[in-house]
Amino acid sequence: MHNVVVGTSGTTADEVIAVARADARVEISADALAALAASRAIVDALAAKPEPVYGVSTGFGALATRHIGPDLRARLQRNIVRSHAAGMGPRVEREVVRALMFLRLKTLCSGHTGVRPETALTMAELLNAGITPLVHEYGSLGCSGDLAPLSHCALTLMGEGEAEGPDGQVRPAAELLAAHGITPVELREKEGLALLNGTDGMLGMLIMAIADLQRLYTSADITAAFSLEALLGTAKVLAPELHAIRPHPGQSVSAAQMASVLQGSGLTGHFQQDEAPRVQDAYSVRCAPQVAGAGRDTVAYARLVAERELAAAVDNPVVLLDDEGGGRVESNGNFHGAPVAYVLDFLAIAAADLGSIAERRTDRLLDKNRNHGLPPFLADDAGVDSGLMIAQYTQAALVSEMKRLAVPASVDSIPSSAMQEDHVSMGWSAARKLRTAVDALGKIIAVELYAATRAIELRHGLTPAPASVAAIAALRKAGVEGPGPDRFLAPDLAAAEAFVREGKLVSAVEEVTGPLV
């Protein structure tokens, strides 16, 4: 996708990702420019009246009781941006900042914020020039939206502060704008406030997390199938009629995908090989579709929330137009991040549980008392070789970290602005920890992939499923070595992680199974 056109009716998740991750070019539609002009006319008319209007001719937050005269209003709008650009800590990732800027532009183009068309056009110019404001980790309480992160973006729009250029170098924003022929914005009534008031940062991170988790849940179905195969488990538990009697849609999808991966396997169901024949597999194997499926359904709900937010105009106050061409400016609470914060936390919980069950399968593969005839730790010469012992330690450490990250941020609230803003969502914090959790989950799945594929290859005399054969061949081609004496494992694990994260595992399996979801 090379061009994204922003209109008055919101945007899509695919468009957000195209701008954030693929540097798609942004255009503003003619109807959006007309809506911007119409709402601006309402603000200008209200600004000319003697009565105070919040955000137009008053202070902000706890200072909203002061009426601001016309001679100070431009200064008021500059000052809110400067004072609110108070973030601290590490820089936020480029893709997050681009998503945040694009989503704020989406709301501006709704025609409910009262900014001038030229302000929105300048924000589009920044995105198209590849100029990325420096945004910091800490500063947002998720209400009134992501104030500090958005303020750092607005500061760049004004030609102040620092930003990263398309070459990756950090320079003064004024220099970068000048180098790209962009005129800094001189803010007018309400514009400073309109640039800051939104859930754009947490929403952008939610959208990218959903995309990443979709791929990881598919990858987890695949690695769970590999583990079942390596443990000589039974695929009978994946029968569609079993999952039809508990009709959670995600569960049925995961079971069907595992069954598809295992189609044609000569390893499944060899319970008779044990001295004490098994009646059923352990929960981590048998319940894989139930756990992954519940996570899939959680992702589906999060996507519904994200779609609603993508169609929203989040600002305070907002401009409401009437049928006669007039309108009014109304204060509201739509900037509160609770709807987004809840699902961000919910996803962190689901992701932690998926990581936990994957680690349990890995541990079972390595334990000679439970892996049904495989060597201890899948080692070449156990005792001389340690095999994958410490790879599982690393996986366990990641799982433990994910459990800590699953503690909800949205149940917290810390009052601010002299108790005017006395309940906040902490949605930005929920989003930041979810990003860390998603990264950890990719590593956990990679370790299971590494262990399960090695275990399958150690099942001499039995024929794996064609999908397993294809995945193992692609994994080895990607530089991840198979069974053998101990070696430096970190590079292999990093290569396995890249194989998962870049979608190569899913693609390799789909060559046999057809499309997976």
pLDDT per residue as tens digits for the range 105-159 = 999 999 999 999 999 999 999 999 999 999 999 999 998 889 999 999 999 999 9
Q: How does pLDDT run across 405-433, given as a tens digit for each residue?
A: 999 999 999 999 888 889 999 999 999 99
Q: Which of 54, 283, 393, 450 is catalytic?
A: 54
- Which pLDDT belongs to residue 272? 67
Residue 8 per-residue DSSP state = S
The residue among 76 and 2 whose pLDDT is bigger is 76
Instruction: Report yes or no: 415 and 426 within 8 Å, Cβ to Cβ.
Output: no
Query: Rounded distance, CA 196 to CA 154, Å?
Result: 7
Query: Encoding tokens for residue 395?
Result: 């996986």
User: H/E element holding 105?
Assistant: helix 94-108
Q: What confidence category does residue 13 fall into, taking pLDDT thresholds of 50, 70 and 90? A: very high
The residue among 52 and 351 whose pLDDT is bigger is 351
- Which pLDDT belongs to residue 502? 98
3-state secondary structure of 229: helix
Average pLDDT, the chain: 95
Query: Rounded distance, CA 441 to CA 437, Å?
Result: 6
Query: Rounded distance, CA 285 to CA 252, Å?
Result: 15
Indicate whether 208 pLDDT > 70: yes
Query: Encoding tokens for residue 87?
Result: 């973030």
DSSP notation for 400-412? HHHHHHTS-STT-
Indicate whether 1 pLDDT > 60: no
- Which pLDDT belongs to residue 273? 66
Q: How does pLDDT run across 272-313, given as a tens digit for each residue?
A: 666 667 889 999 999 999 999 999 999 999 999 999 999 999
- Which pLDDT belongs to residue 471? 98
User: H/E element holding 318?
Assistant: strand 318-321
Which phi and psi angles does 85 have, rounded to 5°? Answer: -80, 70
Indicate whether 400 pLDDT > 70: yes
Indicate whether 163 pLDDT > 70: yes
Residue given tokens 């004490």 in the structure block: 276
- Active-site residue, 54 included: yes
Query: Encoding tokens for residue 109?
Result: 């183009």
Its pTM stands at: 0.96
- Which pLDDT belongs to residue 127? 98
- Which pLDDT belongs to residue 417? 87
Distances (CA, A) of 211 to 15, 21, 162, 300, 508: 12, 12, 30, 11, 19
Query: Rounded distance, CA 77 to CA 272, Å?
Result: 76
- Which pLDDT belongs to residue 51? 85
Q: How does pLDDT run across 306-340, given as a tens digit for each residue?
A: 999 999 999 988 999 887 778 888 989 999 999 99
Q: How does pLDDT run across 252-261, given as a tens digit for each residue?
A: 999 999 999 9
- Which pLDDT belongs to residue 65? 82
> Considering Cα of 201, then 204, then 209, then 212, what sign does the dihedral take?
negative
Query: Encoding tokens for residue 378?
Result: 């899948």
Phi-psi region of 474 (alpha: psi -120 to 50; beta: other; left: phi over 0): alpha
3-state secondary structure of 265: coil
Contacts of 157 (CB under 8 A, 6+ apart): 119, 122, 123, 126, 184, 185, 195
Distance of CA 436 to the CA centre of its chain: 10
Distances (CA, A) of 508 to 262, 348, 480: 14, 28, 14
Q: How does pLDDT run across 362-384, given as a tens digit for each residue?
A: 999 999 999 999 999 999 999 99
Query: Rounded distance, CA 352 to CA 330, Å?
Result: 41
Please, what's the b/e burial string for 383-406 (b: 16 or more CB within 10 A of its CB; e: otherwise)? Answer: eebebbbebbebbbebbebbbebb
- Round the CA-based radius of gyration of the chain to a whole number and report it: 27
| Helices 94-108 and 200-230: angle between axes, nearest 10 degrees | 130
Query: Rounded distance, CA 222 to CA 239, Å?
Result: 16
**Start-end of H helices in 317-465:** 338-366, 389-405, 427-457
Pairing of strands 318-321, 327-330: antiparallel
Q: Which regions of 102-218 does DSSP assign to beta strands (E)?
A: 132-133, 136-138, 162-164, 170-172
Instruction: Report yes or no: 341 and 143 within 8 Å, Cβ to Cβ.
Output: no
Distances (CA, A) of 197 to 69, 149, 490: 22, 10, 44
